[in-house]
Structure 1
Amino acid sequence: MKLLAKLIAGIVVGIIVGGLYYLVGPEGTTGAIMEFIVRLFVTLESILGAFIFFTIPFIILFFIASGISQIGTGSGKVVGATLGVAYVSTLGAGLMAYAVASFIMPRITEGSSVPEEGSALSPFIEFELPAIIDILPALVLAFVVGIVMNMLKLELMIKFFDQGKDITEFVIEKVIIRILPFYIAGVFAGMAATGTVFDTLKVFGVVLLVAIIMHWVWLLVQYTVAGSLIKKNPFAMLKNMLPAYFTALGTMSSAATIPVTLERTKTNGIRNKIADFVIPLCATIHLSGSTITIVSCSIAVMTILPGYDMPGLWEMLVVILLLGVVMIAAPGVPGGAIMAASGVLMTNLGFNEAAVAFMIALYVAQDSFGTATNVTGDGAVAAVIDAYEQKLNKNQVDSE
């Protein structure tokens, strides 16, 4: 919540600085001073943005590889079913978000736009920091290395990528998260200097509200399916999961909410051996709420910024399929999922720095709601796996 407050403060400061320049104009001493200040903000944005985008391939490489390598073997069919159900849930959530957002977002954002450059002024210096590895090679390498490490149980390599994840997570938590408000302030100062920022901001609240409503709809879908399989009232199951939902709202962390999610899942009648396995695993791999937000907000951003066309179903399907993977083991810090997902948005949807900045601002503003949806949905996944495992055992007994 402190990050959200700082982010809002960065937006406000950026708007004030850029807005004053827009009102005063470049003429006179006051105009020259304001132009200097705005260019200072834009320069800060350029430098910080270069560092942020430099780290994205490392986030993808270490978090995906480490996350895949940590997936246990256990009972192969149950593990596979858990991974499959969690992934299908994430995929379904993304497709629902695309269907709703592609219809609603253009109407919400109609008439709202920002200049292609995002700023009326250039930075004092152009700071470039090329990434050591591009996003797509990092993604492919993470898949290959993670799967092989999991299959061969290469302890030394697993330790290397785990420690690489620790280093990357430290950089995110101690550096990137702390500079985000300044980066966002620079982005909004540049936009406010063009006089278009308020046209953009006025639709943000509606966009976030639509995303949150979709969270609740998807939870109802999840528990309707789960309740039908274990013969329980889905509304009663959802009511039992409310403590987990509100705990996640406060902590903004799936991992920190695991004890509550676990206890409430067992209250719904899910057997201990299933809940004890599924809930901790799904805290890492089940990200339906985050996917809904990223898909819906990305479409909103593409309708606001010039130069973007509405993505088609197949184009967006690829993005959703990748999102379900790149956010595996996303860092346990606010905004971690969007940092991991930004690589997919840049590679597959052509997002530039301004578009990613919008996404970061929108995502962090609702991060607690997305996390709450993720963890509450874990209880539904556990119910589906419980029904599957019981059926599996019954079939084995019948065959004997």
Structure 2
Amino acid sequence: MKKHEIGLVPKLIIAIVIGILIGQFLPESVCRFVVTLSGIFGSFLKFVIPLMILAYVTMGIADLSQGAGKLLLITVLIAYGSTIVAGSGSYLVSSTLFPSFISADALAQIEATAGNSVDSFFSIALPPVIDTLSAVVLAFILGLCMSAMRGKEIGDTLYNSFKDFSTIIDKVLHKAIIPLLPLFICGTFVDMTKSGRTFVILGILWKVFVVVIIMHLIIITIQFTVAGAVSKKNPFVLIKNQIPAYTTAIGTQSSAATIPVNLECAKNDGVSEEIRNFVVPLCANIHMAGSMITIVACATAVCLMNGIPIGLHTVVPFVMTLGIAMVASPGAPGGSIMTALPFLYMIFGKELGNTDGPICALMVALYITQDSFGTACNVSGDNAIGVVVETIYQKFILKK
């Protein structure tokens, strides 16, 4: 008889439910144990992420026999444009809807949960051998040079070495990281539930929460509709294919950690191996439409509650700046808001925008509670971009 195996999506849902139940009903010692295991895995994940980016992006670019530089420029411009449009649209929606249901008491209760995290019994310091942004830049250099020079000015030694390296990283991802993702997700929800954030957010700011999620879903629909129109594929099929990565990202809160699952979704979309290995890891670090929607919505909410003037004249420069400054930040849970902190003065002013002040602390609390869905929106848009880039590559670059 064929053994029936539970799929990844059911495992993730089960992990979320178990995490909430543990955080709600079991003693703190059990919660700390689960959070400790999750933290150890998180350290290992942070160690592997730059290696994964270096392996996949390098080989993805190197395998492009034609137009590697053009595809890199096209992908970056699409990702940046998507991020700016998402942030600007978020402000227009938030400034219209939020004044009708945000109260000062609700924000005060959310702020009170900001520091209530479950402590692990111990942690393991496992610093990456290279930081994420350096890995992205190095992958660009190596990939572009190998694509242009291999077989002309250099041999295949370096290419074959990175090909073997990529195979090793792929084995680590599929044999260690993906099987342990439910543990990581479970620990995340244990911490959120035990510290009171899960039910406080749903019970107090659920309207803001719902509006932000709806904005995420709308931008995902727009992105896949455009991708479907360009590629002549059914956008609803593309969205259906994205569900496993969307669910994974909700639990991991990391675009980079979702790369293995997102690559499988891109494969189901019909994106070729060389394009998906190039676009998905790259966009995991440069495309942040979901994060930008959440940050701008939270900033708008804070401004409305504190009487701080806000308009497109302040939001657009803020979004354009973050589109560059937050490169590589979506790879870490909460990384986007932490990277955005030094630039919040562009919205709140120099005095209220002090990174050590209560306004910025409130921004972090609001953002973190919705970070999972922003990350899920990010990775979904990554695959929409992948479908568009694949079409451009097949129709305009290979045919030349």
RMSD: 3.8
Does the C-alpha gap of structure 1 residues 255 and 226 become closer, same or farther in structure 2, counting only changes over 3 Å?
same
Q: Which residue of 1 aligns with 2:337?
A: 338
Kept in 1, the 8 Å contact 2:287–2:382? The answer is: yes
Q: Which residue of 2 aligns with 1:78?
A: 71
- Partner residue of 2:381 out of 364, 377, 395: 377
CA distance in structure 2 between the partners assigned to 1:234 and 1:388 by the alignment: 17
Q: Which residue of 2 aligns with 1:261?
A: 262
CA distance in structure 1 between the partners assigned to 2:107 and 2:251 by the alignment: 34
Does the C-alpha gap of structure 1 residues 114 and 257 become closer, same or farther in structure 2, counting only changes over 3 Å?
closer
Kept in 2, the 8 Å contact 1:97–1:292? The answer is: yes
Q: Which residue of 2 aligns with 1:245?
A: 246
User: Are 1:297 and 2:301 counterparts?
Assistant: no
CA distance in structure 1 between the partners assigned to 2:375 and 2:314 by the alignment: 26
Does the C-alpha gap of structure 1 residues 221 and 361 become closer, same or farther in structure 2, counting only changes over 3 Å?
same
Kept in 2, the 8 Å contact 1:253–1:371? The answer is: yes
Q: Please, which runs of 5 or more residues in structure 1 have no aligned partner?
A: 10-66, 120-142, 153-176, 189-197
How much does 1:113 deviate?
8.9
CA distance in structure 1 between the partners assigned to 2:57 and 2:343 by the alignment: 23
Kept in 2, the 8 Å contact 1:112–1:304? The answer is: no
1:205-354 map, 5 Å: 205-306=206-307, 308-309=308-309, 311-330=310-329, 332-350=331-349, 351-352=353-354, 353-354=357-358
CA distance in structure 2 between the partners assigned to 1:209 and 1:344 by the alignment: 26
User: Are 1:88 and 2:81 counterparts?
Assistant: yes
* Aligned amino acid, residue 349 of structure 1: F
CA distance in structure 2 between the partners assigned to 1:246 and 1:114 by the alignment: 28
CA distance in structure 1 between the partners assigned to 2:221 and 2:330 by the alignment: 27
CA distance in structure 1 between the partners assigned to 2:267 and 2:291 by the alignment: 24
Kept in 2, the 8 Å contact 1:108–1:203? The answer is: no
How much does 1:395 deviate?
5.5
Map Cα deviations across residues 75-94 of structure 1 (whole Å, 9 max, x no partner): 11000001011111111111
Kept in 2, the 8 Å contact 1:248–1:257? The answer is: yes
* Aligned amino acid, residue 227 of structure 1: G
CA distance in structure 2 between the partners assigned to 1:106 and 1:239 by the alignment: 34
Q: Which residue of 1 aligns with 2:371?
A: 367
Kept in 1, the 8 Å contact 2:253–2:333? The answer is: yes
| Identical aligned residues as a percent | 41
Kept in 1, the 8 Å contact 2:289–2:377? The answer is: yes
- Partner residue of 1:97 out of 77, 90, 93: 90
* Aligned amino acid, residue 325 of structure 1: I
Does the C-alpha gap of structure 1 residues 280 and 332 become closer, same or farther in structure 2, counting only changes over 3 Å?
closer
1:37-186 map, 5 Å: 75-109=68-102
CA distance in structure 1 between the partners assigned to 2:202 and 2:384 by the alignment: 35
How much does 1:266 deviate?
1.0
- Partner residue of 1:391 out of 378, 382, 395: 395
Give the secondary-structure state (helix, strand or coil) at the position aligned to 1:255.
coil
Does the C-alpha gap of structure 1 residues 235 and 285 become closer, same or farther in structure 2, counting only changes over 3 Å?
same
Give the secondary-structure state (helix, strand or coil) at the position aligned to 1:256.
coil
Map Cα deviations across residues 181-201 of structure 1 (whole Å, 9 max, x no partner): 9xx99xx9xxxxxxxxx9x99
Does the C-alpha gap of structure 1 residues 323 and 262 become closer, same or farther in structure 2, counting only changes over 3 Å?
same
How much does 1:151 deviate?
8.4
Does the C-alpha gap of structure 1 residues 360 and 111 become closer, same or farther in structure 2, counting only changes over 3 Å?
closer
How much does 1:203 deviate?
5.5
Give the secondary-structure state (helix, strand or coil) at the position aligned to 2:257.
helix
Q: How many residues align?
A: 266
Kept in 1, the 8 Å contact 2:288–2:330? The answer is: no
Runs of 4+ in 1 over 3 A off after TM superposition: 70-74, 110-115, 200-203
Q: Which residue of 1 aligns with 2:147?
A: none
CA distance in structure 1 between the partners assigned to 2:218 and 2:312 by the alignment: 21
TM-score (normalizing by structure 1): 0.58
* Aligned amino acid, residue 337 of structure 1: S
Kept in 2, the 8 Å contact 1:244–1:260? The answer is: yes
Give the secondary-structure state (helix, strand or coil) at the position aligned to 2:238.
helix
* Aligned amino acid, residue 313 of structure 1: L
TM-score (normalizing by structure 2): 0.58
